[in-house]
Structure formats: C-alpha cells, structure tokens
Chains A and B, each alone.
Chain A
Amino acid sequence: MKKQNLHRNGWLEKRAVRLHRHRKRRIYRKHRSFVKTPIPRRYKGRKNGGSSLVLPQKMDFEGNAKNTLQVFRVLRRIARGESPSSYIDFDSLSEISPEAAVVLASEIDLWDRNLGRKLRAKTNGWDPNVKELLREMGFFDLLNVDNQNHVIVNKKTVFLKIISSDLATERNGGIFAVDLREEVKKFAHQIDELSLYDALSEALMNVIHHAYSGNMEYKSKLFWMSASYELDTGKLSVVFYDQGKGIPKTVKTMGYYERFRASLPSNFLKLSDAEKLCALVHKPRSSVDIQGRGNGIPKMIELAKGEQGNTFTIISRKGSCVTKLEKGKIIESVPISLPRALRGTLITWELYI
C-alpha cells in the first residue's frame, strides 16, 4: 500500500510539471501578437531574454477596448509566468485615455506587489505627450524610470498622480477622498467639493464591503484613483478603479439587491453585464427607497448632476454603462458589451466645470 501511494505522488508531480509547461506554450501561442520573444522555459543564469509586452498605438475603453483589455490580460499572464526579464515597451503608444492609464498603472503596481520587483520599461522612443502624461500620473515611480529628463510639451491636459492604497489595512477611506479632492481643486476650482467627497466615499465603501467580499483569495482591498483636466474644454475626468470581483458578480451580496429585488427587472440575473449595470443605475425607486440604504451607485451619480452635459460611466466585467446627464437629470443610459472582461470595476465621472 505504501509503495503504491509513493508511486501515485510521483505521477502527480510529473503531471503538474507537464501541465505547467503546456500552459506556458499555450500562452505564448495565444498572445503572440503582443509578445515579442518567447517566454523562456528556464530562467536561471540567463542575462538576456525574457518577454516584452508591446503596448498598442491607442489604449482606451471605447474604439480600442479589445486591444486595451488584451494588454491587461497578457500582463497578468506574464506575471504568472514570473519571467524575471520581462519589460513593457511603450514606444508604439501614442494615445492613452485616463481610464486606461489608471488600469495599466494598477497592473504594474500589482506586478510590483506580487512579485516583489518592479516591471522594467523600455523608454527610449516614448511619445513625448504620452511620456509627460505617464510622468504626471506617477508611472515613473511605478516603473523605476529616471524622472529627471522629461520633455515639457504644450500641455492641453493636466493629470494627477494616481492615489492608491489597500483598504484592508488603511481603513480610514475618507482621507484618500480628501487627498484627491484637494488635488482636483488646484485646477478645477468650481468643483462641488461635498459631492466629490460623497461620490468617492461611496466608491471606497464599495471596495471595502463588496468588491473583494466573500472570497478567501482576496487578502487586499486595493483601489486606484486619479483625475485629469482638459484646459481648453474645462472637462474634469475623475477615475476610480478596483480589481475586485466586479459589480455583476457581487450585486447579490449588496444589501439593496434583496431589498429592491421587486423593482429590478424580473430577469435581472440573466441580463448581460452591461444591462445589469444600467438596470442598477436606473433602478426604479420609491420616495422611501431613494433615501434608504443600498443606494451606492445612484449616490455616485449625484456628482455628475450639474447644469452642463456630464457623463457617468461604469465598466465592470464584460459590461459598460454610459449614463448621460443634463440639468440634473439622466438623459440616457447606454449599455455596451465589451469584447473581453475587465477585472474589477472602473468608474469615471466626466464633468464640465
């Protein structure tokens, strides 16, 4: 009996090694368009090699969503492969939206946190505008890139340094909301301070209570947030991101699902991710319900209720809901299905100040 058990254990170990090698080969074949060199099978003693992740020309969650989401997926796969020589190639990148930049920063940040070393970056041929954007957002610190010789270009947009923390350990979330608000006020003086604090508080509360809930593998409750301001149009974009399970998956844990189940569509759980998000935005509410508990998403929208046409966008898993507001009212909410899933939840407020 004892000999049979030893034999079985040996077989399991060999099988695990074979599966690992097979998975690495499959990752290379599938993501060949973004990976320049093969992921090496052996890492010890190799000074050169490793894989480079080449960023596409444009990164955003609108016309370039597929390629943008693919980048994040490949980055995580490379991290799992633990190649010690991997680096990220920014040379082709000429445009990146604030939302994509925040998500990219989160992936690079997680690389550093999980692997204990910073991801390297190829910086020789960066587009100067992109370089300045990434410098302002704090990418140079994340990538350990020399910050001294940046190129100053005609600025059309001001970007804020990304604020990030782990709410599992830093529990006083209000401080982070105030930090971002104080930075925003430096260039967007007319921002409604209380509404901004309230909206960010709701997003932070979602991170603490729902985004990473009910799953033992989440030991951290990380978030990333930033803002940008277009000098010529006066458009302020505030971006908040977490890498939790995503609202479509956590909605059942939220207090208001059971409470407002009757007011949601009867087939709510069978809707696409995009339709679920829009249903939560547009959740019909009684005058009692509107003031009770479980109104996190509607409360976040309050920030976007101004005289001018503002937008509130929430992207989670394979869905996006873009809500347009004018003169304090919701004009329309458009559900958009994404070609690939975004991990977690990305919230953007676009306000004309």
Chain B
Amino acid sequence: MSEILKISDWSTVPFGRYDPIDGDFNGEKYRKDYLVPALKKGSVNVILDGTAGYGSSFLEELFGGLVRHEAFTLKELEAKLTISGSGKYAVYERQCWNYINAATK
C-alpha cells in the first residue's frame, strides 16, 4: 500500500531549497522530514495539488536531492515513487522526473 504525501498539508507556500536559510517550507526540509522516511518504509505517492505553486529550486532540491544527497537510484525511485499533479499542477509532474533524471547524470 502506497503512502500518500500531500505537500499542501504541510505548506501552501513551498519556497526555496535549503534549510534553514530559505525559510520554514523549503525542499530540503520536506525531503528529509517526510519524503525520505516514507520512501524507506515503502512506496510513496506525492501529490502536488493545492499549493500556490512551486519554484524550480524547491522541486529540484526535493526530488533531485533524493539522488544527490540521499543515494536513491533512478531504478529505486521509478519503482517506489509516484508523483501526481492534476489540472494545472500536471505540468510539474514531468518537471520533477526531469530533475531526478538530471541528478543521476
């Protein structure tokens, strides 16, 4: 059973890359506090809907950082990670996977 993580439950204004310099709702913080622990337990579905938007820095640090800092491989993430965005948020789904792919190179 896949764990569901909805970013908007944590913050509707995700912003920035690094913790703590970029504030309280940055990509590194969410990755370390929520995403990585969930991935270590099993499959995860990250839902992007409901926020004010996403700067590229936030998403790149959140997902690209899984490869760069948390040592996940592309195969592992493809097997365990689902990224979902509906409506206007759908555009972010592909961006997130592109960040993961870029981080593996």
Contact = CB atoms under 8 A, between A and B. Distances in A.
Interface of A: 171-175, 177-178, 181, 193-198, 201-202, 204-205, 208-209, 288-293, 295-296, 299
Contacts of B58: 201
A175 B103 CA distance: 29
A interface secondary structure, majority? helix
Interface residues of B, number: 31
A204 B58 CA distance: 12
A4 B28 CA distance: 59
Contact of A171 (B22, B54, B102): B22
Contact of B56 (A175, A177, A196, A202): A202
Contacts of B15: 172-174, 177, 201, 204-205
Given A194-B89, A291-B95, A291-B99, A202 B64 contact: no
Given A177-B15, A201-B53, A292-B60, A171 B20 contact: yes
Contacts of A299: 55-56
Nearest to B98: A291
Contacts of B11: 174
B interface secondary structure, majority? loop
A209 B8 CA distance: 25
Given A171-B23, A194-B88, A288-B102, A293 B55 contact: no
B52 A205 contact: no
A288 B101 contact: yes
B64 A293 contact: yes
